[in-house]
A and B are shown apart, each in its own frame.
Chain A
Amino acid sequence: MHYSWHWQVLLEPEPGGTGTYLHYLIVGLGWTLATAAAAWVIALVIGAFVGTVRTTTARWAVRLGNFYVEIFRNIPLIVQMFLWFFVVPEFLPEELGNWIKQMPPPWGSYLPAVMCLGIFTSVRVAEQVRAGIGSLPRGQRMAGTALGLTQAQTYRYVILPQAFRIILPPLTSETMNIIKNSSVALTIGLLELTGRARAMQEFSFRVFEAFTAATVIYLLTNLVVVLVMRVVENRVRVPGLIAAGGAPQAGH
Protein backbone atom coordinates (compact mmCIF):
# COMPACT_ATOMS: atom_id res chain seq x y z
CA MET A 1 0.00 0.00 0.00
CA HIS A 2 1.37 3.33 -1.02
CA TYR A 3 0.34 6.91 -0.35
CA SER A 4 1.71 9.52 -2.71
CA TRP A 5 2.46 12.72 -0.85
CA HIS A 6 1.76 16.06 -2.43
CA TRP A 7 3.04 18.74 -0.10
CA GLN A 8 2.65 21.52 -2.67
CA VAL A 9 -1.06 21.42 -1.86
CA LEU A 10 -0.31 23.71 1.09
CA LEU A 11 0.64 26.46 -1.36
CA GLU A 12 -2.36 25.95 -3.62
CA PRO A 13 -5.36 28.30 -3.25
CA GLU A 14 -8.27 27.12 -1.11
CA PRO A 15 -11.74 27.23 -2.76
CA GLY A 16 -12.99 30.07 -0.54
CA GLY A 17 -10.56 32.40 -2.30
CA THR A 18 -8.88 33.74 0.86
CA GLY A 19 -5.40 32.51 -0.07
CA THR A 20 -3.37 29.33 0.12
CA TYR A 21 -4.31 26.31 2.22
CA LEU A 22 -1.39 27.10 4.51
CA HIS A 23 -2.80 30.57 5.09
CA TYR A 24 -6.22 28.99 5.65
CA LEU A 25 -4.76 26.77 8.40
CA ILE A 26 -2.84 29.64 10.01
CA VAL A 27 -6.07 31.67 10.24
CA GLY A 28 -7.53 28.55 11.90
CA LEU A 29 -4.72 28.68 14.45
CA GLY A 30 -5.69 32.31 15.02
CA TRP A 31 -9.24 31.26 15.90
CA THR A 32 -7.93 28.45 18.10
CA LEU A 33 -5.79 30.91 20.04
CA ALA A 34 -8.52 33.57 20.16
CA THR A 35 -10.96 31.03 21.60
CA ALA A 36 -8.45 29.59 24.05
CA ALA A 37 -7.25 33.01 25.24
CA ALA A 38 -10.72 34.42 25.93
CA ALA A 39 -11.79 31.18 27.62
CA TRP A 40 -8.58 31.18 29.69
CA VAL A 41 -9.49 34.58 31.17
CA ILE A 42 -12.90 33.27 32.24
CA ALA A 43 -11.36 30.04 33.55
CA LEU A 44 -8.72 31.83 35.63
CA VAL A 45 -11.09 34.34 37.18
CA ILE A 46 -13.86 31.87 38.07
CA GLY A 47 -11.43 29.05 38.85
CA ALA A 48 -9.35 31.14 41.25
CA PHE A 49 -12.50 32.36 42.98
CA VAL A 50 -14.24 28.99 43.27
CA GLY A 51 -11.04 27.20 44.26
CA THR A 52 -10.31 29.73 47.00
CA VAL A 53 -13.85 29.74 48.31
CA ARG A 54 -13.72 25.95 48.73
CA THR A 55 -10.88 26.29 51.25
CA THR A 56 -12.56 28.88 53.45
CA THR A 57 -14.51 28.24 56.63
CA ALA A 58 -17.86 29.33 55.14
CA ARG A 59 -19.57 25.96 54.82
CA TRP A 60 -22.39 27.03 52.50
CA ALA A 61 -19.84 28.56 50.13
CA VAL A 62 -17.79 25.35 50.16
CA ARG A 63 -20.93 23.34 49.33
CA LEU A 64 -21.86 25.69 46.51
CA GLY A 65 -18.32 25.50 45.14
CA ASN A 66 -18.32 21.69 45.28
CA PHE A 67 -21.68 21.62 43.50
CA TYR A 68 -20.35 23.86 40.72
CA VAL A 69 -17.26 21.71 40.27
CA GLU A 70 -19.17 18.41 40.18
CA ILE A 71 -21.69 19.68 37.62
CA PHE A 72 -19.15 20.83 35.06
CA ARG A 73 -16.68 18.02 35.67
CA ASN A 74 -19.11 15.19 35.04
CA ILE A 75 -20.59 16.24 31.70
CA PRO A 76 -18.52 15.59 28.55
CA LEU A 77 -17.09 18.71 26.91
CA ILE A 78 -18.90 18.16 23.60
CA VAL A 79 -22.24 17.83 25.43
CA GLN A 80 -21.50 21.08 27.25
CA MET A 81 -20.74 22.65 23.87
CA PHE A 82 -24.17 21.57 22.62
CA LEU A 83 -25.81 22.89 25.80
CA TRP A 84 -24.25 26.34 25.34
CA PHE A 85 -24.98 26.40 21.62
CA PHE A 86 -28.45 24.83 21.33
CA VAL A 87 -30.01 24.89 24.80
CA VAL A 88 -28.88 28.02 26.66
CA PRO A 89 -30.23 30.53 24.06
CA GLU A 90 -33.69 28.97 24.47
CA PHE A 91 -33.72 29.69 28.20
CA LEU A 92 -32.49 33.27 27.96
CA PRO A 93 -34.95 36.17 27.65
CA GLU A 94 -36.33 35.96 24.11
CA GLU A 95 -34.60 39.07 22.74
CA LEU A 96 -31.18 38.09 24.05
CA GLY A 97 -31.63 34.49 22.85
CA ASN A 98 -32.56 35.66 19.36
CA TRP A 99 -29.67 38.11 19.27
CA ILE A 100 -27.25 35.28 20.03
CA LYS A 101 -28.86 32.94 17.52
CA GLN A 102 -28.70 35.58 14.78
CA MET A 103 -25.08 36.57 15.30
CA PRO A 104 -23.16 36.35 12.01
CA PRO A 105 -20.64 33.52 11.70
CA PRO A 106 -18.24 32.82 13.23
CA TRP A 107 -19.36 34.87 16.26
CA GLY A 108 -22.48 32.74 16.74
CA SER A 109 -20.18 29.77 17.40
CA TYR A 110 -17.33 31.71 18.98
CA LEU A 111 -19.30 33.10 21.91
CA PRO A 112 -20.82 29.77 23.07
CA ALA A 113 -17.46 28.06 22.53
CA VAL A 114 -15.66 30.60 24.73
CA MET A 115 -18.29 30.37 27.47
CA CYS A 116 -18.24 26.57 27.36
CA LEU A 117 -14.45 26.21 27.40
CA GLY A 118 -14.07 28.92 30.03
CA ILE A 119 -16.50 27.32 32.47
CA PHE A 120 -15.24 23.79 31.70
CA THR A 121 -11.64 24.80 32.39
CA SER A 122 -12.55 26.94 35.42
CA VAL A 123 -13.46 23.73 37.23
CA ARG A 124 -10.04 22.28 36.56
CA VAL A 125 -8.36 25.52 37.64
CA ALA A 126 -10.50 25.52 40.79
CA GLU A 127 -9.23 22.02 41.62
CA GLN A 128 -5.63 23.13 41.12
CA VAL A 129 -6.09 26.26 43.22
CA ARG A 130 -7.68 24.26 46.03
CA ALA A 131 -4.89 21.68 45.90
CA GLY A 132 -2.27 24.44 45.87
CA ILE A 133 -3.78 26.11 48.93
CA GLY A 134 -4.14 22.73 50.63
CA SER A 135 -0.46 21.95 50.09
CA LEU A 136 0.66 24.97 52.15
CA PRO A 137 1.69 24.25 55.75
CA ARG A 138 -1.14 25.00 58.18
CA GLY A 139 1.18 27.25 60.12
CA GLN A 140 0.97 29.84 57.35
CA ARG A 141 -2.70 30.40 58.02
CA MET A 142 -2.20 30.37 61.79
CA ALA A 143 0.63 32.87 61.49
CA GLY A 144 -1.69 35.15 59.54
CA THR A 145 -4.31 34.91 62.26
CA ALA A 146 -1.67 35.44 64.97
CA LEU A 147 -0.56 38.63 63.25
CA GLY A 148 -4.11 39.92 63.51
CA LEU A 149 -4.99 39.58 59.81
CA THR A 150 -8.58 38.86 58.89
CA GLN A 151 -9.35 35.75 56.83
CA ALA A 152 -9.55 37.87 53.66
CA GLN A 153 -6.21 39.53 54.44
CA THR A 154 -4.57 36.18 55.19
CA TYR A 155 -5.64 34.94 51.79
CA ARG A 156 -4.60 38.10 50.01
CA TYR A 157 -1.14 38.50 51.56
CA VAL A 158 -0.12 35.04 52.78
CA ILE A 159 -1.95 32.13 51.17
CA LEU A 160 -2.72 33.09 47.58
CA PRO A 161 0.67 34.53 46.57
CA GLN A 162 2.27 31.23 47.54
CA ALA A 163 -0.50 29.00 46.18
CA PHE A 164 -0.43 30.62 42.73
CA ARG A 165 3.30 30.08 42.45
CA ILE A 166 2.93 26.44 43.42
CA ILE A 167 0.26 25.76 40.81
CA LEU A 168 2.06 27.41 37.88
CA PRO A 169 3.31 24.08 36.42
CA PRO A 170 -0.17 22.48 36.40
CA LEU A 171 -1.56 25.72 34.98
CA THR A 172 0.92 25.36 32.11
CA SER A 173 -0.60 22.01 31.22
CA GLU A 174 -4.08 23.50 31.58
CA THR A 175 -3.05 26.17 29.07
CA MET A 176 -2.14 23.44 26.61
CA ASN A 177 -5.37 21.59 27.46
CA ILE A 178 -7.53 24.61 26.72
CA ILE A 179 -5.83 25.02 23.33
CA LYS A 180 -6.38 21.34 22.56
CA ASN A 181 -9.94 21.34 23.88
CA SER A 182 -10.90 24.32 21.73
CA SER A 183 -10.92 21.86 18.82
CA VAL A 184 -14.24 20.51 20.15
CA ALA A 185 -15.76 23.84 19.03
CA LEU A 186 -15.68 22.53 15.46
CA THR A 187 -18.78 20.51 16.39
CA ILE A 188 -20.74 23.76 16.73
CA GLY A 189 -19.31 25.15 13.52
CA LEU A 190 -16.28 27.15 14.61
CA LEU A 191 -13.61 26.76 11.93
CA GLU A 192 -10.56 26.62 14.18
CA LEU A 193 -7.37 24.74 13.33
CA THR A 194 -8.70 21.15 13.49
CA GLY A 195 -11.93 22.16 11.77
CA ARG A 196 -9.97 23.80 8.97
CA ALA A 197 -7.67 20.78 8.58
CA ARG A 198 -10.82 18.66 8.22
CA ALA A 199 -12.29 21.12 5.70
CA MET A 200 -9.02 21.20 3.76
CA GLN A 201 -9.13 17.39 3.59
CA GLU A 202 -12.65 17.58 2.18
CA PHE A 203 -11.81 20.22 -0.44
CA SER A 204 -8.46 18.89 -1.60
CA PHE A 205 -8.66 15.14 -0.76
CA ARG A 206 -5.13 15.50 0.64
CA VAL A 207 -5.91 13.75 3.94
CA PHE A 208 -2.51 13.23 5.48
CA GLU A 209 -0.95 16.49 4.30
CA ALA A 210 -3.80 18.40 5.98
CA PHE A 211 -3.60 16.50 9.28
CA THR A 212 0.20 16.47 9.35
CA ALA A 213 0.26 20.23 8.86
CA ALA A 214 -2.27 20.71 11.69
CA THR A 215 -0.31 18.36 13.94
CA VAL A 216 2.93 20.24 13.35
CA ILE A 217 1.20 23.57 14.05
CA TYR A 218 -0.18 22.22 17.35
CA LEU A 219 3.26 20.90 18.35
CA LEU A 220 4.88 24.28 17.64
CA THR A 221 2.13 26.06 19.59
CA ASN A 222 2.72 23.79 22.59
CA LEU A 223 6.41 24.52 22.41
CA VAL A 224 5.74 28.27 22.52
CA VAL A 225 3.37 27.85 25.49
CA VAL A 226 5.97 25.86 27.43
CA LEU A 227 8.66 28.46 26.74
CA VAL A 228 6.43 31.40 27.68
CA MET A 229 5.29 29.73 30.89
CA ARG A 230 8.89 28.97 31.79
CA VAL A 231 9.68 32.69 31.52
CA VAL A 232 6.65 33.47 33.70
CA GLU A 233 7.75 30.90 36.29
CA ASN A 234 11.21 32.41 36.45
CA ARG A 235 9.84 35.95 36.71
CA VAL A 236 7.60 35.28 39.68
CA ARG A 237 9.83 32.81 41.51
CA VAL A 238 10.63 33.61 45.12
CA PRO A 239 14.18 32.47 45.95
CA GLY A 240 14.12 29.56 48.39
CA LEU A 241 10.49 28.68 47.77
CA ILE A 242 10.53 25.46 45.78
CA ALA A 243 7.37 24.19 44.15
CA ALA A 244 6.69 20.60 45.09
CA GLY A 245 6.26 18.02 42.35
CA GLY A 246 2.62 17.06 41.91
CA ALA A 247 1.11 13.61 42.28
CA PRO A 248 0.09 11.86 39.05
CA GLN A 249 -3.29 12.98 37.85
CA ALA A 250 -5.82 11.73 35.37
CA GLY A 251 -6.37 14.04 32.46
CA HIS A 252 -6.84 14.46 28.77
Chain B
Amino acid sequence: MTEDAKHRGYHDIGGLEAEPIDQSEHVLEPWEKRVDAMRMLLGDNKRNILRADGLRHAIETMGEDLYLELSYYERWMAAIMNVVDQRGVVTRDELFERMAEIEARLDLQDVERRPFPGGN
Protein backbone atom coordinates (compact mmCIF):
# COMPACT_ATOMS: atom_id res chain seq x y z
CA MET B 1 0.00 0.00 0.00
CA THR B 2 1.34 3.44 -0.86
CA GLU B 3 1.59 5.98 1.95
CA ASP B 4 -1.03 8.13 0.25
CA ALA B 5 -3.57 5.29 0.22
CA LYS B 6 -3.41 4.93 4.00
CA HIS B 7 -6.28 6.67 5.71
CA ARG B 8 -5.11 8.62 8.74
CA GLY B 9 -7.61 10.34 11.03
CA TYR B 10 -6.86 14.03 11.59
CA HIS B 11 -6.75 13.39 15.34
CA ASP B 12 -4.27 10.52 14.99
CA ILE B 13 -1.12 12.65 14.97
CA GLY B 14 1.41 10.51 16.87
CA GLY B 15 4.84 10.91 15.29
CA LEU B 16 4.01 13.89 13.10
CA GLU B 17 5.99 17.10 13.26
CA ALA B 18 4.38 19.53 15.68
CA GLU B 19 4.91 22.50 17.93
CA PRO B 20 6.03 21.84 21.52
CA ILE B 21 3.18 20.71 23.77
CA ASP B 22 1.87 23.32 26.21
CA GLN B 23 2.05 21.41 29.48
CA SER B 24 0.92 24.21 31.75
CA GLU B 25 -2.09 23.44 33.94
CA HIS B 26 -5.18 25.60 33.68
CA VAL B 27 -8.27 25.91 35.85
CA LEU B 28 -11.39 24.56 34.18
CA GLU B 29 -14.07 27.13 33.44
CA PRO B 30 -17.53 26.46 34.91
CA TRP B 31 -18.95 25.80 31.43
CA GLU B 32 -16.25 23.19 30.79
CA LYS B 33 -17.24 21.35 33.98
CA ARG B 34 -20.86 21.50 32.86
CA VAL B 35 -20.02 19.99 29.49
CA ASP B 36 -18.15 17.19 31.25
CA ALA B 37 -21.12 16.61 33.56
CA MET B 38 -23.56 16.56 30.64
CA ARG B 39 -21.51 13.96 28.83
CA MET B 40 -21.38 11.80 31.95
CA LEU B 41 -25.16 12.01 32.34
CA LEU B 42 -25.79 11.30 28.65
CA GLY B 43 -23.63 8.19 28.93
CA ASP B 44 -25.01 6.72 32.13
CA ASN B 45 -26.89 3.43 32.18
CA LYS B 46 -30.24 5.18 32.46
CA ARG B 47 -29.81 7.24 29.30
CA ASN B 48 -27.10 5.49 27.25
CA ILE B 49 -27.14 8.22 24.62
CA LEU B 50 -23.47 9.13 24.34
CA ARG B 51 -20.64 7.05 25.79
CA ALA B 52 -16.92 7.67 25.46
CA ASP B 53 -16.56 5.79 22.17
CA GLY B 54 -19.48 7.65 20.62
CA LEU B 55 -18.07 10.96 21.81
CA ARG B 56 -14.71 10.19 20.22
CA HIS B 57 -16.39 9.08 17.01
CA ALA B 58 -18.36 12.33 16.85
CA ILE B 59 -15.20 14.36 17.42
CA GLU B 60 -13.23 12.39 14.85
CA THR B 61 -15.89 12.92 12.18
CA MET B 62 -16.74 16.61 12.70
CA GLY B 63 -14.19 17.63 10.08
CA GLU B 64 -10.57 18.65 10.42
CA ASP B 65 -11.09 22.42 10.14
CA LEU B 66 -13.61 22.47 12.96
CA TYR B 67 -11.55 20.03 15.04
CA LEU B 68 -8.49 22.27 14.83
CA GLU B 69 -10.44 25.43 15.58
CA LEU B 70 -12.25 24.21 18.69
CA SER B 71 -10.79 23.80 22.16
CA TYR B 72 -10.98 20.50 24.01
CA TYR B 73 -14.37 21.01 25.67
CA GLU B 74 -15.73 22.94 22.68
CA ARG B 75 -15.18 19.72 20.72
CA TRP B 76 -17.15 17.86 23.39
CA MET B 77 -19.92 20.45 23.23
CA ALA B 78 -20.10 20.28 19.44
CA ALA B 79 -20.15 16.47 19.57
CA ILE B 80 -22.93 16.50 22.18
CA MET B 81 -24.95 18.97 20.10
CA ASN B 82 -24.63 16.77 17.03
CA VAL B 83 -25.59 13.57 18.82
CA VAL B 84 -28.58 14.93 20.72
CA ASP B 85 -29.79 16.46 17.45
CA GLN B 86 -29.35 13.22 15.51
CA ARG B 87 -31.06 11.25 18.26
CA GLY B 88 -33.92 13.70 18.48
CA VAL B 89 -33.29 14.41 22.17
CA VAL B 90 -32.86 18.13 21.58
CA THR B 91 -32.98 19.26 17.97
CA ARG B 92 -30.67 21.91 16.59
CA ASP B 93 -33.64 24.22 16.01
CA GLU B 94 -34.84 23.80 19.60
CA LEU B 95 -31.36 24.50 20.90
CA PHE B 96 -30.83 27.67 18.90
CA GLU B 97 -34.32 28.85 19.72
CA ARG B 98 -33.56 28.45 23.43
CA MET B 99 -30.20 30.20 23.07
CA ALA B 100 -31.93 33.16 21.38
CA GLU B 101 -34.51 33.29 24.19
CA ILE B 102 -31.82 33.42 26.84
CA GLU B 103 -29.82 36.05 24.98
CA ALA B 104 -32.93 38.20 24.72
CA ARG B 105 -33.95 37.68 28.35
CA LEU B 106 -30.50 38.57 29.65
CA ASP B 107 -30.13 41.32 27.05
CA LEU B 108 -26.75 39.92 26.07
CA GLN B 109 -24.70 42.00 23.70
CA ASP B 110 -21.79 40.94 21.55
CA VAL B 111 -22.13 37.24 22.28
CA GLU B 112 -19.05 35.45 21.04
CA ARG B 113 -20.16 32.88 18.47
CA ARG B 114 -18.20 29.68 18.30
CA PRO B 115 -18.44 27.50 15.22
CA PHE B 116 -20.43 24.29 15.41
CA PRO B 117 -20.88 21.42 12.97
CA GLY B 118 -23.27 22.44 10.27
CA GLY B 119 -22.96 26.12 11.16
CA ASN B 120 -25.00 28.26 13.51
A and B found bound together: no
